[in-house]
Amino acid sequence: MQSAIQPSCFDCVLRPDRLFCDLPADALEAFDAIKVVNTYPRGTILFREGHPARGMFLLCQGRAKLFVCSDSGKRLTLRTAGAGEVLGLSALLSGASYELTAELLENSQVVTVKRKDLLRFLRDHREACLQVVHLLSQDLHVAYDRVRSVGLGRTRKAHAARVH
Protein backbone atom coordinates (compact mmCIF):
# COMPACT_ATOMS: atom_id res chain seq x y z
CA MET A 1 0.00 0.00 0.00
CA GLN A 2 1.22 3.40 -0.86
CA SER A 3 -0.19 6.50 0.77
CA ALA A 4 -1.14 9.16 -1.68
CA ILE A 5 -1.29 12.86 -1.05
CA GLN A 6 -4.85 13.30 0.14
CA PRO A 7 -6.43 14.84 -2.95
CA SER A 8 -9.64 16.75 -2.56
CA CYS A 9 -12.82 15.46 -4.16
CA PHE A 10 -13.28 19.04 -5.39
CA ASP A 11 -10.30 18.58 -7.73
CA CYS A 12 -11.36 15.21 -9.18
CA VAL A 13 -12.38 15.31 -12.85
CA LEU A 14 -14.33 12.06 -12.44
CA ARG A 15 -16.75 13.45 -9.81
CA PRO A 16 -20.07 13.67 -11.66
CA ASP A 17 -22.47 10.78 -11.08
CA ARG A 18 -20.37 9.09 -8.38
CA LEU A 19 -21.65 8.37 -4.91
CA PHE A 20 -20.01 10.62 -2.30
CA CYS A 21 -18.46 12.66 -5.11
CA ASP A 22 -21.43 14.59 -6.48
CA LEU A 23 -22.58 16.20 -3.24
CA PRO A 24 -23.22 19.81 -2.21
CA ALA A 25 -20.03 21.68 -1.29
CA ASP A 26 -20.48 21.45 2.49
CA ALA A 27 -21.07 17.69 2.37
CA LEU A 28 -18.17 17.15 -0.01
CA GLU A 29 -15.89 19.12 2.28
CA ALA A 30 -17.00 16.95 5.23
CA PHE A 31 -16.42 13.79 3.16
CA ASP A 32 -12.92 15.00 2.25
CA ALA A 33 -12.21 15.31 5.98
CA ILE A 34 -13.10 11.67 6.81
CA LYS A 35 -11.65 9.80 3.85
CA VAL A 36 -8.21 8.27 3.42
CA VAL A 37 -6.84 7.81 -0.10
CA ASN A 38 -4.30 5.06 -0.82
CA THR A 39 -2.79 3.46 -3.88
CA TYR A 40 -2.71 -0.34 -3.79
CA PRO A 41 -0.97 -2.80 -6.12
CA ARG A 42 -2.75 -5.41 -8.19
CA GLY A 43 -3.71 -8.46 -6.12
CA THR A 44 -4.40 -6.53 -2.91
CA ILE A 45 -7.36 -7.84 -0.93
CA LEU A 46 -9.41 -4.84 0.22
CA PHE A 47 -11.60 -6.98 2.47
CA ARG A 48 -12.44 -10.65 3.02
CA GLU A 49 -15.72 -12.48 3.21
CA GLY A 50 -16.63 -13.22 6.82
CA HIS A 51 -14.40 -10.55 8.35
CA PRO A 52 -16.01 -7.73 10.36
CA ALA A 53 -16.82 -4.68 8.24
CA ARG A 54 -14.70 -1.81 9.49
CA GLY A 55 -14.56 0.36 6.41
CA MET A 56 -16.21 1.28 3.14
CA PHE A 57 -14.17 1.48 -0.06
CA LEU A 58 -14.63 3.75 -3.06
CA LEU A 59 -12.67 2.79 -6.17
CA CYS A 60 -11.37 6.06 -7.58
CA GLN A 61 -9.25 4.29 -10.21
CA GLY A 62 -8.94 0.61 -11.00
CA ARG A 63 -11.03 -2.54 -10.90
CA ALA A 64 -11.77 -5.19 -8.28
CA LYS A 65 -12.94 -8.78 -8.57
CA LEU A 66 -15.76 -9.57 -6.15
CA PHE A 67 -16.06 -13.23 -5.19
CA VAL A 68 -17.26 -15.70 -2.57
CA CYS A 69 -15.57 -18.91 -1.45
CA SER A 70 -16.99 -22.32 -0.61
CA ASP A 71 -15.89 -24.28 2.45
CA SER A 72 -13.64 -26.33 0.16
CA GLY A 73 -11.92 -23.17 -1.11
CA LYS A 74 -13.60 -22.90 -4.53
CA ARG A 75 -14.11 -19.33 -5.70
CA LEU A 76 -17.21 -18.04 -7.44
CA THR A 77 -16.67 -14.66 -9.08
CA LEU A 78 -19.80 -12.56 -8.76
CA ARG A 79 -18.71 -9.58 -10.83
CA THR A 80 -16.00 -7.03 -11.50
CA ALA A 81 -16.35 -3.59 -9.91
CA GLY A 82 -14.97 -0.55 -11.69
CA ALA A 83 -13.89 2.99 -10.94
CA GLY A 84 -16.54 4.96 -9.10
CA GLU A 85 -18.07 1.97 -7.34
CA VAL A 86 -18.55 1.72 -3.59
CA LEU A 87 -17.65 -1.61 -1.97
CA GLY A 88 -18.50 -3.01 1.44
CA LEU A 89 -21.22 -0.48 2.13
CA SER A 90 -24.11 -2.79 3.05
CA ALA A 91 -21.99 -4.82 5.47
CA LEU A 92 -20.62 -1.65 7.02
CA LEU A 93 -24.03 -0.09 7.55
CA SER A 94 -25.53 -3.27 8.99
CA GLY A 95 -22.60 -3.77 11.34
CA ALA A 96 -22.13 -7.27 9.94
CA SER A 97 -19.26 -9.07 8.26
CA TYR A 98 -18.37 -8.58 4.62
CA GLU A 99 -20.50 -10.83 2.39
CA LEU A 100 -17.73 -11.31 -0.17
CA THR A 101 -14.06 -10.72 -0.90
CA ALA A 102 -12.75 -7.82 -3.01
CA GLU A 103 -9.40 -8.28 -4.77
CA LEU A 104 -7.85 -5.56 -6.93
CA LEU A 105 -7.28 -6.57 -10.55
CA GLU A 106 -4.88 -3.70 -11.26
CA ASN A 107 -3.01 -0.98 -9.45
CA SER A 108 -5.79 1.13 -7.95
CA GLN A 109 -6.50 4.31 -6.08
CA VAL A 110 -8.99 3.64 -3.30
CA VAL A 111 -10.77 5.85 -0.78
CA THR A 112 -11.44 4.25 2.61
CA VAL A 113 -13.86 5.55 5.22
CA LYS A 114 -14.15 4.04 8.69
CA ARG A 115 -17.56 2.91 9.93
CA LYS A 116 -17.96 5.42 12.77
CA ASP A 117 -16.93 8.30 10.50
CA LEU A 118 -19.34 7.26 7.75
CA LEU A 119 -22.26 6.87 10.16
CA ARG A 120 -21.64 10.33 11.60
CA PHE A 121 -21.29 11.78 8.08
CA LEU A 122 -24.59 10.20 6.93
CA ARG A 123 -26.36 11.44 10.05
CA ASP A 124 -25.15 14.99 9.35
CA HIS A 125 -25.68 15.03 5.57
CA ARG A 126 -29.15 13.96 4.46
CA GLU A 127 -28.37 14.20 0.74
CA ALA A 128 -25.55 11.66 1.10
CA CYS A 129 -27.82 9.41 3.13
CA LEU A 130 -30.42 9.50 0.33
CA GLN A 131 -27.74 8.61 -2.23
CA VAL A 132 -26.77 5.61 -0.10
CA VAL A 133 -30.41 4.47 0.09
CA HIS A 134 -30.64 4.77 -3.70
CA LEU A 135 -27.41 2.80 -4.19
CA LEU A 136 -28.47 0.01 -1.83
CA SER A 137 -31.85 -0.18 -3.58
CA GLN A 138 -30.11 -0.51 -6.95
CA ASP A 139 -27.90 -3.28 -5.54
CA LEU A 140 -30.97 -5.13 -4.32
CA HIS A 141 -32.68 -4.91 -7.71
CA VAL A 142 -29.55 -6.18 -9.45
CA ALA A 143 -29.46 -9.11 -7.02
CA TYR A 144 -33.14 -9.86 -7.69
CA ASP A 145 -32.47 -9.82 -11.44
CA ARG A 146 -29.54 -12.21 -11.06
CA VAL A 147 -31.61 -14.64 -8.99
CA ARG A 148 -34.48 -14.35 -11.47
CA SER A 149 -32.12 -14.97 -14.37
CA VAL A 150 -30.49 -18.00 -12.76
CA GLY A 151 -33.66 -19.47 -11.28
CA LEU A 152 -36.13 -18.69 -14.04
CA GLY A 153 -33.94 -18.07 -17.04
CA ARG A 154 -35.30 -14.58 -17.60
CA THR A 155 -34.68 -11.00 -16.55
CA ARG A 156 -36.99 -8.30 -15.21
CA LYS A 157 -36.99 -6.62 -18.66
CA ALA A 158 -38.14 -9.85 -20.33
CA HIS A 159 -40.93 -10.20 -17.75
CA ALA A 160 -42.01 -6.57 -18.22
CA ALA A 161 -42.16 -7.09 -22.01
CA ARG A 162 -44.47 -10.11 -21.54
CA VAL A 163 -46.77 -8.24 -19.16
CA HIS A 164 -47.28 -5.32 -21.53
114-144, pLDDT tens digit by residue? 999 999 999 999 888 888 887 787 877 777 7
pLDDT for the residue numbered 3 = 47
What ranges make up the beta strands (E) of 74-120? 75-81, 86-87, 101-104, 108-114
What is the rounded CA–CA span in Å between residue 22 and residue 113?
Answer: 17
pLDDT score of 160 more than 90: no
Cα separations in angstroms, 99 against 3, 83, 96, 108: 27, 20, 9, 22
**What does the pLDDT average to over 57-64?**
94
Structural domain total, the chain? 1
What is the DSSP secondary structure assignment for residue 100, as one 8-state letter?
Answer: S
**In terms of residue numbers, what domain contains 56?**
2-163
Question: Does residue 152 sit in helix, strand or coil?
Answer: helix
pLDDT for the residue numbered 17 = 56
Question: Among candidates 107, 61, 116, 112, which has minimal Cα distance to 87?
Answer: 112
pLDDT for the residue numbered 146 = 72
Q: Say which CATH number the domain at 22 has.
A: 2.60.120.10
pTM metric for this prediction: 0.77
